[in-house]
Structure 1
Amino acid sequence: KLGQLTVIFMLCPYSYVVESKIEPFYKGGKVQVSFLKDEKYIFCTCGSRVNVLEISTGKIVHSVEHVMCVCLSLLCFPPQMLVTASRALLLKQWDWRQAQCTRSWRAIHTVPVASMTFDSTSTLLATGGCDGTIKLWDVVKQYCTHNLKGSSGVVHLIQFHPDISRLQLFSSSLDCGIRLWDLRSSRCVCVLQSHYSAVTSLSFSPDGGTMVSSGRDKICTVWDLETRKAKRTVPVYEAVEGVVLLPEDKDLSEIGVKSKDLHFITAGSKGSHLESSQIANLCCRASAVSFITAEHNIVLYQLPVDFSFFFFLYLFVGYNDEVLDVKFLGKGDSHIVVATNSCQLKVFELLTNSCQILYGHTDTVLSLDVFKKGFLFASCAKDRSVRVWQMDSDSGQVHCVAQGSNHANAVGSITCSRMKASFVVSGSQDCTVKVWDLPADLSTTGADVHQLTPRATEKAHDKDVNSVAVSPNDKLLASGSQDRTARLWSLAGEGNVGLLGVFRGHRRGVWAVCFSPVDQVLATSSADGATKLWSLQDFSCLKTFEGHDASVLKVIFVSRGTQLLTSGSDGLVKLWTIKTNECVKTLDAHQDKVWGLHVSRKDDKVVTGSADSNITVWVVTETKLSQELSNLLHEKKYLKALGLAISLDQPHTVLTVIKAIRQVENSGELLEKTVLKLRVDQKESLLRYCAVWNTNARNCQDAQAVLQVLLTHLPPEEILQYQGARTHLEGLIPYTERHMQRIGNLLQASMFLNYMWQKMRVAGAPAR
């Protein structure tokens, strides 16, 4: 029997669990890069959280939840300390590795804190408020040491002089002046006036005698702090958000700078630039420079010793907008390419979450597809164009190798040839499909790319073409449209695309089409909430799968063509077994429309992308879990086996475990002991499964045995707290009555048979 159980489990359909996620971790605000010995982290705000990103893995390793406020005003981080300020006028000191608040105190400000900084010793904390005051706090002794008044409006920038012995603090507010505070006397000794717009950043020389300020008035000012005068104003011709000084006496000739004067990097509205000034003795103390873009991307550059170049380290995407499509890419599906609500494409390395940004399209990219080998892929966009991109197998860098623009409206779908990289097919809102032949040699030089022209153009539908797909042998093309039909086309000829037939049956627009990898069938998904399988021979509907509560946006074949995965605008991904029409698994990891759905070439992973900005990578685990389940039953570890079976969320698998328990000696006691040790959520699932099992006469006794344990030993108040408990219990009653009636009839029949048998024995007894 255990051998039979193993076979049953191994034949169970695939299931998926979350392997990794790419989710929003930064939506604006302050970002700090920290280097703690060999550990490198990025600290950034995201809504009401402070996220700690480990640079080497690109994963969120810690998250501090500021539950008392809607959003964080700021975070500040010296070596072992994290302090946050909230709109509730509280300052909190955190052990960020444990996500525990170690201390909290009132900020004393009458309105929220707008800026915050530590001194070089991490013993003094300065907070600048929206009320125009600055408070200084002794972090060690835990009291307020200074209350500096006199700023006009919000204090949005504060910074200590790097030489703590000077006891000087610099601040800036709405009047665009830079105030110099003497902390010994708690007085403002001067106001440095040069900027005519908000001052955004300050940077000091190592000796503390020179300071550079940047502003949104498109200038940087170099200050002599001894005379407190401006020595030079450097026009930058863009609003500057930050300035970083480079070490002095470095050779920058290899990047086109011949002067040996002071150099600093500015970051502003047009990007980052290297600027030069005639002042010496300025130094950058960091070994890396970070840039934050308007798209919430965090870019890290290494500063080498010889400064012959700036070495790119990482690019992390803090926030993806609505994800419209996602595909596996690269050797061993090591990368994914993502189309968001943007004209840029993003290529993520799954191991580190580091990203490449691909530029080329001029409007939102709507769809992607990848060629068989995984190093070449195509994209289409609202800019009416299609592009072909190639990934270098060694470096992983991606560049555009071909483009074409011949549609009259937005291009909403694209598909690649399956056998070799010979053509792509696009479908557009202009109701046409176009076949684009690719050159045999896609290598390019410089910025030149191959220009594509369509080999064939066909008026395919009466409304927008939502999806196109090429068959595994490259001879057929399928298209789905808002006109509620899918159509099959021949690609075998050299001329135009030829219509072979029309699939009719959906009540609303068709969102996706997909060919089976093993059978002569086509899958379609529609806004009517249904997924259908069609015969390619007579165009008849073979099967219909219904279960989504909203539009089904994507459909793909998995498990070597034996199962379907569908994603919908209800945020759910469902796994269907084609043979039984049964939904065997619902994957719930998204909160909005799941536009992107793709399976890896080895059929062992799935990636989904949603309008909630989340990208989820799922891994197949059924084979491993099934083997583990079989081993647990063999070792008679029934509690662990039942818990594992419930985690798979498959009623038939759980039922198999229940049957195995009921076949051992003293099964009643063992079942009672096992079920009562389950967690509350597992008991809740078990009640739901019982309602399913009870509908079948072959499984009703197992269902009733479990129900007897639950209803006998659990108080009604607890059972009624289970989600859907009333519905499940009401559904159990009619089937239970039917089973009781059937068993009663069988009992009566058996009693009559026994009576007849006894009579026959008496009648046939020999006379005495």
Structure 2
Amino acid sequence: MVCAAYSYIYVFSPHSYVVDSKIEPFYKGGKVQVSYLPCYIFCTCESRVNVLEISTGKIVHSVQHDDQEDITSFALSCDDEMLVTASRALLLKQWDWRQAQCTRSWRAIHTVPVASMTFDPTSTLVATGGCDGTIKLWDVLKQYCTHNLKGSSGVVHLVQFHPDISRLQLFSSSLDCGIRLWDLRSSQCVCVLKSHYSAVTSLSFSPDGGTMVSSGRDKICTVWDLKAQKAKRTVPVYEAVEGVVLLPENEDLSQIGVKSKDLHFITAGSKGVMRVWEASTARCVYAQTLSEEEEEKDDDPRRLTYLLLLPASSRLATVTAEHNIVLYQLPGLTTQQQFVGYNDEVLDVKFVGKGDSHIVVATNSCQLKVFELLTNSCQILYGHTDTVLSLDVFKKGFLFASCSKDRSVRVWQMDSDSGQVHVFLVTCCLLVSSSPCLLISCPCFLQDVNSVAVSPNDKLLATGSQDRTAKLWSLAGEVEVGMLGVFRGHRRGVWAVCFSPVDQVLASSSADGVTKLWSLQDFSCLKTFEGHDASVLKVVFVSRGTQLLTSGSDGLVKLWTIKTNECVKTLDAHQDKVWGLHASRKDDKMVTGSADSNITVWVDVTEVELAEEQAKQEDQILKQQELSNLLHEKKYLKALGLAISLDRPRTVLTVIKAIRQVENSHELLETTVLKLRVDQKESLLRYCAVWNTNARNCQDAQAVLQVLLTHLPPEELLQYQGARTHLEGLIPYTERHMQRIGNLLQASMFLNYMWQKMRVAGAPSR
């Protein structure tokens, strides 16, 4: 029965995959800045500054210091044109970030790394705050240091210019928790604004520049009168605040509690939510709400570390401790987009949604992440209390299940229109697999089970275990399970099992590095696929059951043709274990997730490649016909050029032989060859080096070489690609041909001599 099925299904073409898109780490902590025209997000990732395009969620530019040192700080100019970075090697670099080109580099003068950096509103001055307690100001146009401000105690972790450049004022903060106001005309500290008792985290200015709000980790915000240089009000906010932003005036913000024209500001910090405060009354007028599952804990990874205002688009951006960047739209503070900077180890990944428009990802955490593939925007799902281990999707794609170390299974439902996901059902189980109307979990009597799979008709269940076996179970009812048999043959634990969509066979992959195909009728091993150098972690059927995809801890994904046991393609896009592997319902895409934190979406290009190959063959046929016509019409120059463009040395040789057979062949060959383009002459020289190795073609090669060597200067010939190698290869064979011709000439002369002697000896005497 299995063989009969194979004879039918192998009419389909094997699939071929290429990378379509990637979701890769782009932010692992540090500074984040959004361009003034809110198109790009700039963020540090170890030794690089990555530029993320907001509309697509993809890294479009990246700059990196040559010394590979970590970047400690950076600043983007207010006109979005210049980027300046500072590395641990105490080097400052100025970049044309769109071209990823360094336009200038100079020593930072600081004795220890730069901790903070900012541009002034005119984009001509950049200030650097060092860990040595000093502040340097640099004129990036005239390229020199304009100020060296001393007096701060410890690391200067915050520097910011007053928005009114005519005031020439710079604000800074260091370990003494004071806010220093520097007069850049006199290079003196005018005053120290003291109110905070811990690190000052951010400053925000009113549009008229007369009021400033500062935030700190001492759970207060202070409203300052900059004219009087005194605190107007201290607002207790009851959380360590990492960012504060003054809300824009003359906008209707009633949706977030702003009902008066008094000064209002937003804070973000340790509680993981944004809150709106009325400065005059020190009252919280609005706070984001969290669901019961999202309520903050003592070490909540969702605490906010940055709050940024995007004035050109009336949006706000926050950065979480989990390296997620979230964009909110005013006036309602509705979530617009969310980007995940770092996924940690990816344990499982599945396609979900209408037309497989999303993927759900289980990482080394208790949250699930649902990415929209078009924009890379992410929705984070809370509910599990321990690491999520496995995922499975119901056939229609709008329901999926997750199982966790917290010994629970959750079923989630995606809205078909909005793409939003909500928890649907919670049960207490260990591992999960699912079918259209059936939820299966492994009961406690199954020990060390790594994988569960349900047959397409929902009547059979397969499990793969650490005991080196896979087992087949009967699903007689919704709760009754009976074992039918055991598949034995793997030498180490079985990581994954998968039913064929068309045949009565089961695939299993193991830590012994092999994948096996088993008969469901007699439990015998039908085929073994060897090729991975390490554990095979996942296996799935593709191409309507004619091929297998496997992923291993060697970071490779392999495509196998079942009929021939042949690995037809190896896909290399990961640097670590590939735990996640899933094919789309239409069988036209697949997705892989790895311990290297990368998620790769692959697209099937079989039809495209077939169409390209067919078009190429048709073009070759047309050109071959055209070549025959040109030879028939004795248009040798066009024929030679066409043959060279097709890269057909044999056809080129045919044209050369045809030229040498006509009257005045030497002159015609000379005229034809010299009219070729330089690249065509390069190819002709390369062909001659090959022809010259064969005695039957050496005369044609020598004829062409005579033209090239006679009429082209040596300097031009040596500029040809590979000319030296070709010319050196010509010498020994040419010497051999000359020796052979010399011997032939000598033999012919001896024959002629003997013939003449014979004639003389045989002549009648007088």
Instruction: Please indicate the TM-score interval, normalised by the length of the shorter structure.
Output: 0.7 to 0.9
Q: Which has the larger radius of gyration?
A: 2
1:563 aligns with 2:547: yes
Note closer, same or farther for the CA distance 1:637–1:121 as it changes in structure 2 (3 Å cut). Answer: farther
Change (3 A) 1:185 1:494: closer
Deviations, residues 679-729 of structure 1 (Å, cap 9, x unaligned): xxxxxxxxxxxxxxxxxxxxxxxxxxxxxxxx99979x99xxxxxxxxxxx
Misfit runs of 4+, over 6 Å: 660-664, 666-670, 711-715
The AA in structure 2 aligned to 1:98 is Q
C-alpha contact (below 8 Å) 1:244/1:284 kept by paired residues: no
SS of residue paired to 2:204: strand
Q: Which of 365, 371, 376 pairs up with 2:388?
A: 365
Q: What CA deviation, in whole Å up to 9, does each residue of 1:303-329 have, x standing for no partner?
A: 2xxx3x123221011111100000001
Checking the alignment, whether the CA contact within 8 Å between 1:203 and 1:245 is kept in structure 2 is: yes
Determine if the alignment matches structure 1 residue 415 to structure 2 residue 433: yes
Q: In 2, distance between residues paired with 1:669 and 1:26?
A: 60
Partner of 2:21: 20
Q: Map 1:622-641 to 2 at 5 A.
A: 622-636=606-620
Q: Which moved more, 1:591-600 or 1:43-52?
A: 43-52
Q: 1:445 maps to what in 2?
A: none
Q: In structure 2, do the counterparts of structure 1 residues 663 and 515 end up closer, same or farther at CA, with 3 Å as the change threshold? A: farther
Which stretch shows the higher mean deviation, 56-65 or 387-396?
56-65
Deviations 1:110-145 (A, max 9, x none): 221111111111111111111111111112222111
Give CA deviations for 1:421-463 in whole Å, capped at 9, x if unaligned. Answer: x221123xxxx36xxxxxxxxxxxxxxxxxxxxxxxxx23xx3
Two-structure CA RMSD over aligned residues (Å): 2.8
- Percent of residue pairs bearing the same amino acid type: 78
Cα deviation for residue 630 of structure 1 reads 3.2
Q: Which one-letter code corresponds to 1:576 in the other structure?
A: W
**What is residue 455 of structure 1 aligned with on the other side?**
none
Residue 394 of structure 1 corresponds to 417
C-alpha separation in 2, matches of 1:71 and 1:298: 21
Distance 1:520 1:423 in 2: 20
In the TM superposition, residue 634 of structure 1 has moved relative to its aligned partner by 3.4
Deviation readout 1:530-577 (Å, 9 max, x if unpaired): 100000000001011111111100000001100000000010000001
> Is the CA contact 2:370–2:378 (under 8 Å) kept in the aligned structure 1?
yes
Aligned residue number for residue 668 of structure 2: none
Deviation string 1:562-614 (CA, Å, 9 cap, x unpaired) is: 00000000100000010010111000000000000000011010100000000
Cα contact 1:339–1:367 (8 A) shared by 2: yes
Name stretches of at least 5 consecutive residues in structure 2 with no aligned partner.
Answer: 1-9, 283-308, 624-645, 657-678, 684-721, 730-766
Choose from 349, 353, 371 the match for 1:330.
353
Corresponding residue of 1:533:
517
Give the counterpart letter for 2:278 in structure 1: S
- The answer for the alignment partner of 1:313 in structure 2 is 336
Question: Contact 2:353–2:414 at 8 Å: present in 1 too?
Answer: yes
Q: Establish whether residue 222 from structure 1 lines up as the match of residue 223 from structure 2.
A: yes
Residue 289 of structure 1 corresponds to: 316
1:426 counterpart = 2:441: yes
Is the CA contact (8 Å cut-off) linking 2:310 and 2:316 kept in structure 1? no
Inter-CA distance 714–562: structure 2 relative to 1 (3 Å threshold): farther
SS in 1 for 2:159: strand
Does residue 153 in structure 1 map to residue 137 in structure 2?
no
Distance 1:340 1:467 in 2: 17
Match of 1:604 in 2: 588
Structure 2 length normalisation: TM-score?
A: 0.75
Instruction: Give 1:239 deviation, angstroms.
Output: 1.0
Q: CA deviation at 1:48?
A: 1.1
Residue 62 (1) aligns with residue 57 (2) = no
Contact 2:34 2:310 in 1 (8 A): no
Cα offset, 1:638, TM superposition: 13
User: Which residue in 1 is equivalent to 2:462?
Assistant: 478
* Matches of 2:384 and 2:100, distance apart in 1: 42
Q: Is the 8 Å Cα contact of residues 251 and 260 (structure 1) preserved in structure 2?
A: no
| Alignment length (residue pairs) | 606
CA contact (8 A) 2:310 2:317 kept: no
Shift of 1:251: 4.8
CA distance 1:56–1:629, shift in 2 (3 Å): same
Conserved in 2, the CA contact under 8 Å of 1:662 and 1:668? no
Aligned to 1:488: 472
User: How far apart are 1:402 and its partner, in Å?
Assistant: 0.5
Closer, same or farther: CA 132–661 of 1 in aligned 2, 3 Å = closer
Letter in structure 1 aligned against 2:172: S
Q: Secondary structure at the match of 1:560?
A: helix
Contact 1:48 1:67 in 2 (8 A): no
User: How far 1:495 moved relative to its partner?
Assistant: 4.6
How far apart in 2 are the matches of 1:369 and 1:636?
Answer: 48
Q: Do the aligned residues in 2 keep the contact of 1:606 with 1:618 (CA within 8 Å)? A: yes
1:499 aligns with: 483
Contact 1:211 1:223 in 2 (8 A): yes
Of 240-249 and 327-336, the range deviating more from structure 2: 240-249
| Contact kept? 1:163, 1:208, Cα under 8 Å | yes
User: Deviation string for 1:42-96 (max 9, x for gaps)?
Assistant: 1111111111111111111111122224211111112211111112222111111
Q: Is the 8 A contact 2:256 2:276 kept in 1?
A: no
The alpha-carbon distance between structure 1 residues 136 and 518, as it changes in their structure 2 partners (threshold 3 A), is same
The 8 Å contact of residues 159 and 171 in structure 1, kept in 2 or not, is answered as: yes
Candidates 281, 290, 298, aligned match of 2:325 = 298
Q: TM-score, normalised by structure 1?
A: 0.75
Deviation for aligned residue 1:248: 3.4
